[in-house]
């Protein structure tokens, strides 16, 4: 036991319960809450999806998160070591759980780079140009700003590298001085931003109709098959949104203080995560409704929603440049605290497996992330002509983003 305690403290840890809760909530709140949750809710019958999601969150989601954090705290190890310590036969689960954040991280950072680009454009006042720009590709097809942006190598690569660097700086600074400190600042800012923006979009003329569409259960055309799809959609979203089954909560749990209550913390993390997802819907659904004149199909634009439809929506609303800037700052903060948790989980594994210090381990993770992520950046630009399984670029962008 004494050995375990020394081991845990030498790995560093959260200094307070609030720091742990905000860091874990930072992992949970991400692109999934702001972009994916609202369009899933709109797609699967509004209030019906919200209700099903909530039921799963307070039952299944709660139990899963408590279990993962408990495994982490009890063993005080990275996800691979933790599952092995529980039972040698479960070692493979640790490897599996470590592989997933390793694979998600590069792609998450590529999209994080896109978000940074949009944030800087809105903050520097060129959001309006972005919404209305139209380009023509070499083969004569018309491209939106987004499609044109990702089809070039330079800027997406630059913003991707900046995003990875920002994430790595926090991870290198450590659990208490990096992750905890940053989360304690960014998460309250995120909350203020999302409450402010949703209050604004709800005050727009015509927002009430969108609000009804989002909140009230829509039983029209709701078949048994659609119910099953809604359940599957809600469970998938729950895993992704709460960062469950990816070793994240095991890792963060391993840094948690022994004297803090796990159940109470998970309750707070879940409330934070679900509230942000719900509020994101209060921004996106009514805003898109007002913009599209009540056309719900605009919400089903899927991946294009955040990078193509929303800039147009901001462009059309009063003070849109300002609201757009606030919105993309919000998305950037949410994404950053999530990628920090992904990078921390993989770094902790490298530290433990290869007995390297935090900085060296993190640099190794950064190098791997840059290589894999760069392949994806190139896949949209210089390798654009390479068709995978006969898919045109436009389709591959769509399928890539839906896997998010």
Nearer to ligand PFF, 248 or 283 (CB): 248
- Dihedral angle sign, alpha carbons of residues 242, 245, 246, 248: positive
241 interacts with ligand PFF by CB under 6 A: yes
Nearer to ligand PFF, 27 or 274 (CB): 27
Binding ligand PFF by CB under 6 A: which of 13, 19, 25, 33? 33
Binding ligand PFF by CB under 6 A: which of 80, 248, 317, 377? 248
Contact 142, 136 (CB under 8 A): yes
94 interacts with ligand PFF by CB under 6 A: no
Shortest reach from residue 253's CB to ligand PFF, in Å: 13
Q: Which residues contact 278 (CB under 8 A, 6 or more apart)?
A: 37, 50
30 interacts with ligand PFF by CB under 6 A: yes
238 interacts with ligand PFF by CB under 6 A: no
Can you tell me the distance from the alpha carbon of 292 to that of 298, in angstroms, rounded to the nearest whole number? 7
341 interacts with ligand PFF by CB under 6 A: yes
> What phi and psi values does residue 135 have, to the nearest 5 degrees?
-125, 160
338 interacts with ligand PFF by CB under 6 A: yes
361 interacts with ligand PFF by CB under 6 A: no
Nearer to ligand PFF, 253 or 320 (CB): 253
26 interacts with ligand PFF by CB under 6 A: no
Shortest reach from residue 154's CB to ligand PFF, in Å: 27
342 interacts with ligand PFF by CB under 6 A: yes
Q: Which of 185, 257, 272, 259 is nearest to 20 (CA)?
A: 257
Can you spell out the DSSP letters for 232-297? Answer: HHHHHHHHHHTTTTSSHHHHHHHTS-TTS-HHHHHHHHHHHHHHHHHHHHHHHHHHHHHHTTS-GG
Binding ligand PFF by CB under 6 A: which of 22, 25, 28, 57? 28
Output the CA–CA distances (angstroms, integers) from residue 359 to 64, 339, 348, 349, in the order listed: 31, 17, 11, 13
Can you tell me the distance from the alpha carbon of 113 to that of 96, in angstroms, rounded to the nearest whole number? 27
174 interacts with ligand PFF by CB under 6 A: no
Residue count of the chain: 404
Query: Within the chain, what is the greatest distance between any pair of CA atoms?
Result: 69
Shortest reach from residue 3's CB to ligand PFF, in Å: 29
240 interacts with ligand PFF by CB under 6 A: yes
Nearer to ligand PFF, 23 or 144 (CB): 23
Output the CA–CA distances (angstroms, integers) from residue 307 to 41, 113, 135, 314, 328, in the order listed: 19, 12, 15, 11, 10
Contact region with ligand PFF (CB under 6 A), list: 59-67, 168-176, 334-342, 357-365: 334-342
Shortest reach from residue 249's CB to ligand PFF, in Å: 9
Binding ligand PFF by CB under 6 A: which of 26, 32, 112, 281? 32
Contact region with ligand PFF (CB under 6 A), list: 41-49, 121-129, 145-153, 240-248: 240-248
340 interacts with ligand PFF by CB under 6 A: no
H or E element at residue 181: helix 181-202
Can you tell me the distance from the alpha carbon of 31 to that of 34, in angstroms, rounded to the nearest whole number? 5
The conformation of residue 387, written as its DSSP 8-state character, comes to P
280 interacts with ligand PFF by CB under 6 A: no
Chain residues binding ligand PFF by CB under 6 A are: 27-28, 30-33, 101, 104, 240-241, 243, 246, 248, 338, 341-342
């Amino acid at each position: 036991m004494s050995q375990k305690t020394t081991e845990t403290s030498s790995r560093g840890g959260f200094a307070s319960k609030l720091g742990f809760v905000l860091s874990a909530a930072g992992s949970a709140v991400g692109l999934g809450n702001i972009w994916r949750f609202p369009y899933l809710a709109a797609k699967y019958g509004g209030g019906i999806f919200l209700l099903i999601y909530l039921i799963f969150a307070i039952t299944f989601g709660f139990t899963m998160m408590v279990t993962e954090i408990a495994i982490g705290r009890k063993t005080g190890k990275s996800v691979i070591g933790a599952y092995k310590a529980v039972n040698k036969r479960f070692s493979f689960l640790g490897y599996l759980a470590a592989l997933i954040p390793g694979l998600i991280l590069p792609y998450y950072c590529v999209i994080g780079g896109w978000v940074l680009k949009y944030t800087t454009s809105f903050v520097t006042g060129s959001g309006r140009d972005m919404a209305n720009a139209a380009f023509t590709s070499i083969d004569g097809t018309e491209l939106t700003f987004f499609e044109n942006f990702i089809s070039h190598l330079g800027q997406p690569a630059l913003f991707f590298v900046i995003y990875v660097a920002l994430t790595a700086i926090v991870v290198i600074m450590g659990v208490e001085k990096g992750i905890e400190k940053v989360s304690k600042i960014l998460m309250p800012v995120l909350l203020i931003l999302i409450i402010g923006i949703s209050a604004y979009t709800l005050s727009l003329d015509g927002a009430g109709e969108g609000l009804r569409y989002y909140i009230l259960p829509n039983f029209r055309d709701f078949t048994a098959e659609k119910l099953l799809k809604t359940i599957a959609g809600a469970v998938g979203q729950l895993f992704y949104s709460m960062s469950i089954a990816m070793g994240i909560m095991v890792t963060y749990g391993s840094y948690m203080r022994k004297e803090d209550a796990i159940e109470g913390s998970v309750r707070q993390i879940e409330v934070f995560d679900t509230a942000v997802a719900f509020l994101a819907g209060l921004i996106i659904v009514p805003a898109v409704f007002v913009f599209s004149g009540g056309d719900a199909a605009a919400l089903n634009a899927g991946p294009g929603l955040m990078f193509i439809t929303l800039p147009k929506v901001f462009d059309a609303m009063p003070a849109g440049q300002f609201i757009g800037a606030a919105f993309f700052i919000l998305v950037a903060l949410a994404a950053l605290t999530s990628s920090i948790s992904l990078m921390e989980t993989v770094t902790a594994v490298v530290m433990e497996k290869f007995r390297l210090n935090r900085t060296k381990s993190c640099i190794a993770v950064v190098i791997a992330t840059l290589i894999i992520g760069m392949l994806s950046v190139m896949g949209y630009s210089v390798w654009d002509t390479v068709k995978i399984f006969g898919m045109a670029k436009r389709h591959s962008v769509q399928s890539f983003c839906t896997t998010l």
